[in-house]
Structure 1
Amino acid sequence: MAYIVPINTREDIFPQYLNTPISDLIEYHNFDKPNDIKYDHAKILVAMCMDNRKRLNIPEKFAYIIRTGAGNLRTSEFKVSYAVAVGGVRAIALIGHNNCGMANLNAKEEKFINGLVDVGWDRKAAEDHFYHFAPMFEIGNELDFVLAEARRLRQRYPRVLVAPLMYQLEDNRLYLLENDQ
């Protein structure tokens, strides 16, 4: 089972993330850490949802940012590899959020299809589009997805620090994720 862990002070940040770009990200965003450092290259890759209700408080050039539905990197792995291999980042923050539209996609099937038909798609083409891609982008539970994606990326990039985080829309803050397994 996944747990959301509040980060109200620097001491709340898990020890493995302290003094890394992960703790810098949290401190910039949650604590308004002064961001007067002028970065000349990215220190971290941030993967987060394309949802327009979220914005990070971070300095310029601090992070590569990939925004996809649910922050799902399964179809963006070449971009991740680029950030690691060419960009030199050694930390990845996976930021999920509550009330994500990619959770329970099947419940949105009719709205999705009708929305495409409304902008000129043929109904059959819209249905095929949904049935083809929805399984690839369905995430299930937001917390479990972020933890599973972090495990997958840790196996793929064993020398890169990967941190699963959650963004709560109600307070616009980052939270750590912990698994009791």
Structure 2
Amino acid sequence: MAQIVPVNTRQDIFPQYLDTPIGNLIEYHNFNKHFESDKKYEHAEILIGMCMDNRKRLNIPEKFAYVIRTGAGNLRTSEFKVSYAVAVGGVRAIALIGHNNCGMANLKAKEQKFIDGLVEVGWDRQAAQDHFNHFAPMFEIGNELDFVLAEAKRLRQRYPRVLVAPMMYRLEDNRLYLLKEETGER
């Protein structure tokens, strides 16, 4: 199990992330590091994978990052886009940002609401049920923390020379947190 680590000062940023795009992301978002005093970005330095949830917004400068927003920040179905950002865009850092109270956690509990919502906008009930049954297993994440850690591990295996940082965003305070992994991986 990982430990969620608050990042309240620059010294709280893990050494492997200091003076990297991951550290810059944290400084921009958590510490309101001023954009104009920093360099102007000509190209993205980082890929940020985060949830499409409308309760989250990052404080980052223009051209600093590619951002892929999907349910739960699940990049499994965006693999080509990740590869593009790495191969063509030249990014060498990925911030994978999960958040608490994610709608993709425990999808089964939301099944009836999902189906009823589609029926309300004109779907046939059986088609809505089939739609849920087909896609829910692909997008179910289980526990948010466990998912972010597993996805970070998968991305590290896929892109071994790219720095991958699993993080959490807490909706209560709109701050980024680092995850201290027990496995000893980077």
Give distance in 2, aligned partners of 1:133 and 1:92. 26
Give distance in 1, aligned partners of 2:23 and 2:167. 11
- Tell me what 2:88 maps to: 86
- Tell me what 2:181 maps to: 179
The question of 1:30 aligning with 2:26 is answered: no
The 3-state SS of whatever aligns with 2:76 is coil
Shift of 1:180: 2.4
Give distance in 2, aligned partners of 1:179 and 1:105. 26
Shift of 1:2: 2.0
Identity rate, percent: 83
Q: Which whole-Å deviations, capped at 9, do the CAs of 1:19-74 have from their partners, x for residues lacking one? A: 10000000000001111131110000000000000000000000000000000000
Give distance in 1, aligned partners of 2:24 and 2:181. 22
Shift of 1:79: 0.1
Shift of 1:139: 0.3
Q: Which whole-Å deviations, capped at 9, do the CAs of 1:77-125 have from their partners, x for residues lacking one? A: 0000000000000000000000000000000000000000000000010
**Which aligned pairs between 1:99-110 and structure 2 lie closer than 5 A?**
99-110=101-112
Give distance in 1, aligned partners of 2:25 and 2:56. 15
Give distance in 1, aligned partners of 2:171 and 2:81. 27
Shift of 1:3: 1.5
The 3-state SS of whatever aligns with 1:92 is strand
Structure 1 consecutive aligned stretches of length 4 or more whose deviation exceeds 2 Å: none
> Normalising by the residue count of structure 1, what TM-score does the alignment of the two structures yield?
0.99
- Tell me what 2:47 maps to: 45
Between the two proteins, the alignment pairs up a number of residues equal to 181
- Tell me what 1:139 maps to: 141
Uncovered stretches (5+) of structure 1, i.e. residues with no partner: none
**Which aligned pairs between 1:13-28 and structure 2 lie closer than 5 A?**
13-28=13-28
The 3-state SS of whatever aligns with 1:26 is helix
> Normalising by the residue count of structure 2, what TM-score does the alignment of the two structures yield?
0.96
- Tell me what 1:7 maps to: 7
Shift of 1:179: 2.3
Q: Which moved more, 1:54-63 or 1:35-44?
A: 35-44
